[in-house]
Structure 1
Amino acid sequence: MLTWLAEWREKRQAQSFLKNIFAWYETSKGVSDLLGDALYDQKICTSEIGLVLDKTDRQLFALAGYISDARGSLRRWDLDLAQRFDRASSNIYRLRNMTVRFLIRCHASGPFADQGQIYYYQALEATGFKARQIRTEVEQELKSIWLELQGWIIQAEKVVGESWA
């Protein structure tokens, strides 16, 4: 009876880990892509930035749940990887905050139509280049962590008894 219960618990933990780690990666990648588009597309600065920010924030709310659920398993299995996972997750929020600063600065309205270009380049210099750098770091961290997670994903899939990929 206890063996069955332990196996059932281990299987449930593996299922939860797989669900949350895949959701974390997809959502993190989606947020990074969305914010990257905002950082490199000047048209977004002149359009409604609220749509981009709303979509990003909705994804970040979901991401918070995936982070907390996946973190527990990672801490039990690999503390170093869990710390990198936490840093990457924090950097996604840093990317969001820096991108918001950039969008607000470049969206500033002026009395003349040609001032939009001026605001855009001032925003790039003040915050945009730093946000782009953070995005590059986030992309590299996500790739690196995802590659390292493959071993744990394979182990969890064996416990579950089916492929989730």
Structure 2
Amino acid sequence: MTVTPDLARLRSDTPALLRSVFRRYAAGVAVITACGDAGPVGFTATSLTSVSAEPPLVSFGVGTGSSSWPVIAEAGHVGVHILGEHQQDLAATFARSGADRFGPATAWRTGPEGAPVLDGVLAWLVCRVAGRVPAGDHRIVLAEVLLGDPTGDGRPLVYHQGRFDGLRG
């Protein structure tokens, strides 16, 4: 049986189409951090992916127009933090342009290799940046896992339909 799409519903504005489709795709929420000469930077990412077990690699996307990009572009190491459902405010802070991301409301410390490490997350990694691949208005950063802590408590935070939420189960 062949199913033909309702052509009236098809979209050709591909940037809007991409955003619309991926609003329906639930994704885990991470915060990526790094430290530069002017201090720490960070951003909320839903593009975190496990790439390889041997060597242990992750990837994430970062917009070249973001305030964090100049530091990420030069950083040798990054922190990768998996957020829990109790951290919706933290996710929103790191997603908001102009926010004081490392202000008093954010519990963090300088971790191994100088990477900012957030407190109270489900899990965190410190990674060595292995490469930056151009991808349109973003860069895909490949990072080799060096060490971390997977022992935080709670359930993961997800991003779906334009908002942060917990899993239903």
TM-score normalised by length of structure 1: 0.25
Greater helix content:
1
Q: Which structure has the larger Rg?
A: 1
More RCO (CA 8 Å, sep 6+): 1
TM-score normalised by length of structure 2: 0.25
Greater strand content:
2
